Amino acid sequence: MKYFTRGFFVFFLIGLQQSLLFGQSKARFAKLEVGKPCPDVLFKNIQYYSKTRASLKDFRGKWLVLDFWSSGCTSCVAAFPHVNEMQKKFKDAVQFLLVAQDDKYVRPMYEKFRVKENLQLPIIFDTVLWKYFDIYLVPYVVVLDDKGICRAIVGGLKEQNMTDLIAHKNPDITPAYTRTQWAEKNIDYDKLLLIDGNGGQETDFTYRSIFYPFKPGSSRSGGMEFGPKLVNTMQFWGVSIERLYKVAYYDTLPLEPLAFEHNCYSNWVYHPILEITDTLSYNPGSDSDKNLFCYSVTVPPEKLTRKFMQETIQRDLQTYFGYHVRIEKRVMPYWRLVAKEGAAEKLKTKGGKTERLHKGMGQDGIAYNNSPVYRIIQSLWYYHQLEPAFVDETGITGNIDFKLDCLMTDLNDIKRALQQIGLDLEKGEKEMKVLIISDPDNNGKSVSSLTSTSK
């Protein structure tokens, strides 16, 4: 009985120590705040590192960057080479550690990217740690200094940001939020913006229709588009000028390759062409919270038509920004998806259920059975939306079976995989419709004269 009691006491002490170290298993989530120490945790099964187990205290003396990501986060994966370069540059002062949300797809997917990009980054696959830190949306990057103090929680880290943090400067970065914080900051989309504190104060509006600059650090969630069911209120929160002009001037044509029966994606240029002097105020490609806007417009139900709603938005944009807008045809670059001789017969489906065979998130390849060629176009667009349009010129009309074993974020790797199944991507030029945004001239064109060119 004596030995049992002593053994039980030792077991209890060990269990207590583990409980303190693995606080995430007992607490609902850890409270992580900038300027305060990060609660200590133990990282288990670390891969591609000198140790397989380490606590936060083991990293003291160096800055530690915890980069949380998931298999469904395209921007996270695309940033791996950049993170890898930062690890090389700051190797004496900073240790980067990838923290993946564990699922059945993420490990083989990461291994492909690691080999392809020659990544020298340690990684752990730990969903428990995600829950412990209450992670909701990624990228979610936690930066701890060499004493374990949290110095930043951001939605992405650049080299200059890291340099500024080490030098104790305040970098221009976009904060990231936990699930709880996101719920507190989120917007009730069923209510008008700025009413009863929904997204800001009532005094924030510029004019009504409600139009006001986006407040950095607020919830940035996007907005509505014209759908099958027309509504008399449309709202946008934290969107660029480009997004607003697309909605206002692209009529009923979908700009994404999701409804090919309209054959519009291949006939329109996805991004407007700027002919303005101050392009910095436009800047649709920025990952910053600057130069974004919130906008809410309501029209009387009895006047509700798609044409009336768009003309209303056009007038508001003209009043606020003053740009001249027109739609014209121009010869523009695009990507041609072409088939080599014999490819149609080789790819011809063997029948069976029409389905997507690749069950992961698709970043490490795609595969379809008994499906049309436009599934390839959709996937190309999804991962390369800043590229010129991808157009099917294979001449293949029936369904096909195909598999692309490649990194979908790497266009050259996609071309290699396409060539293996008898297809190819080639640069071409064709006449397409383009939205032109230009500075005001001295003639003071009216909005009506501008919209008439889009017919």
Residue with tokens 């004019």: 207
> Domain 2-182 has what CATH class?
alpha beta
Question: How many beta carbons lie within 10 A of that of residue 393, not counting itself?
Answer: 16
Domains of the chain, by residue range, sit at 2-182, 187-323, 338-424
Please give the radius of gyration of the chain, using alpha carbons only, rounded to the nearest integer: 26
Whether residue 254 has a cis bond before it, omega within 30° of 0: no
Task: Give the integer Cα–Cα distance in Å for 2 and 24.
Answer: 34
Residue with tokens 């069911």: 229
pLDDT at res. 186: 72
pLDDT at res. 286: 53
Residue with tokens 């039980």: 8
Q: Which helix (H) or strand (E) holds 45?
A: none
Task: Give the integer Cα–Cα distance in Å for 247 and 244.
Answer: 5
pLDDT at res. 251: 58
Q: Cα 347 from chain centroid? A: 32
3-state secondary structure of 354: coil
DSSP-derived pairing of the beta strands 94-100 and 63-69: parallel
Q: Which helix (H) or strand (E) holds 370?
A: strand 366-371
Q: Who's near 250: CB < 8 A, 6+ residues apart?
A: 268, 435
Task: Give the integer Cα–Cα distance in Å for 413 and 173.
Answer: 32
What string of pLDDT tens digits covers the 455 residues of the chain? 444 444 444 444 444 444 434 434 444 567 889 999 999 899 999 999 999 999 999 999 999 999 999 998 999 999 999 999 999 999 999 999 999 999 989 999 999 999 999 999 999 999 999 999 999 889 999 999 999 999 999 999 999 999 999 999 988 888 888 877 776 777 776 777 778 777 777 767 555 788 888 887 666 666 777 766 788 888 888 888 888 888 888 754 555 565 544 456 678 887 888 888 776 566 555 556 677 888 989 888 888 888 899 999 999 999 988 889 988 999 999 999 999 999 999 999 999 999 988 766 678 899 999 999 989 998 998 899 888 989 999 999 999 999 999 999 999 999 999 999 999 999 999 999 898 988 886 444 433 333 333 33
Sign of the CA dihedral 281, 157, 224, 212? negative
Residue with tokens 């695009």: 334
| 450 in Cβ contact with 438 (< 8 Å) | no
Statement: the pTM of the whole predicted model exceeds 0.85: no
DSSP per residue over 152-221, as a string?
EEES---HHHHHHHHTT------B--BHHHHHHH---TTS-TTGGGSSS-GGG-SSTTEEEEPPTTS---
DSSP-derived pairing of the beta strands 63-69 and 140-144: antiparallel
pLDDT at res. 88: 96
DSSP-derived pairing of the beta strands 42-43 and 54-55: antiparallel
Q: Who's near 240: CB < 8 A, 6+ residues apart?
A: 282, 283, 284, 286, 291, 292, 293
Q: Cα 33 from chain centroid? A: 25
